[in-house]
Amino acid sequence: MTQFAAAVTAMQTESEFAKAYDGGIHKSKYWDPTYEDILNLIARLPEVAALIYRCTFKDGKVAPYDSTLDFSANFNRMLGYSSHSFDELMRLYLVIHSDHEGGNASAHATHLVGSTLSDPYLSYSSGLNALAGPLHGLANQEVLNWILDLQATFKQRGKEVNHDTIREFAWETLNSGKVIPGYGHAVLRKTDPRYSAQRAFALKYLPDDPLFKIVGTIFETVPDVLTEHGKTKNPWPNVDSHSGCLLYHYDFKETNYYTVLFGVSRAYGALSQLFWDRALGLPLERPKSLTSDWINEHFAKK
């Protein structure tokens, strides 16, 4: 993810908005070069992301663009995958991770930096750095690691994967002061529809996959544990509960790269919001500041 954010920043030297701003463009026209930057950046992201993957984990070679394929299939060929069902997964993945509401950290970081009139390259690289955090895009990696740890622990203990053993493992996790990753959401108060979309995909393409079966049993067990635990407002699964096991099924096991996939997808949501910021002429975003006198006035004991 560090390489990806650095690469997006490095491409800023080709920003149409930066050139237009230096040339004295009227503020009513800011949207035009912003739009060009956004289209250029979205078009370049798959090859840049694939180059990082191939150089980090494989032979450094990236397949050329194929005009007969769509965006997702081209991205997969560049990564080195040719399965048609994986093409379907990537289409689903890129759509459901593009955005879910503008208040998420990566979209908001992009908006915040963009409100200073930084161009889309600089703005989105900031969004990528927000996406890299474990409370945001890194969560799907943590979910998968928790599931793999569960699987390995059960194998070591000679236990079967069932509702009782998963309930026991869930309580072990909570009692050790840790959280069960992939459950709960700051906004949603029901099962994440993106989770449901991935589950429907798995039922169609990989119903007998061992990790998928574990994910399904967790889904049937953990909400009751979290409800009994009492500290989670939303005990239902979010998008991260499912995405890792799907990628793992297709032998895409380099978990440190998962946030880069998220970054390719989130560009659609964060950058389209940035376009509207420029089109509507939204102002610089400033957080509200409070003085100590204000705090004393409102909260001091009378």
Return the active site residues.
136, 185, 240
Q: Which residues pair with 237 in a beta bridge?
A: 183
Torsion-angle region of 261 (φ positive above 0: left; ψ -120 to 50: alpha; else: beta): alpha
Q: Which residues pair with 183 in a beta bridge?
A: 237
**Cα pseudo-dihedral 187, 93, 181, 56, rounded to 10:** -130
On whether the CB atoms of residues 27 and 16 are closer than 8 A, the answer is: no
Q: What is the H or E stretch that residue 274 is in?
A: helix 258-279
On whether the CB atoms of residues 127 and 266 are closer than 8 A, the answer is: yes
Q: Is 119 helix (H, G, I), strand (E, B) or coil?
A: coil
Burial of 152 (0-12, 13-18, 19+ CB in 10 A): exposed
- Over its C-alpha atoms, the chain yields an Rg (Å, rounded) of 22
- Closest Cα partner for 210 from 264, 259, 154? 154
List the structure tokens of 145: 């690691």
- Closest Cα partner for 218 from 244, 187, 242? 242
CA distance 207 to 213: 8
> Angle at which helices 31-57 and 71-79 pack, to 10 degrees?
30
CA distance 164 to 239: 24
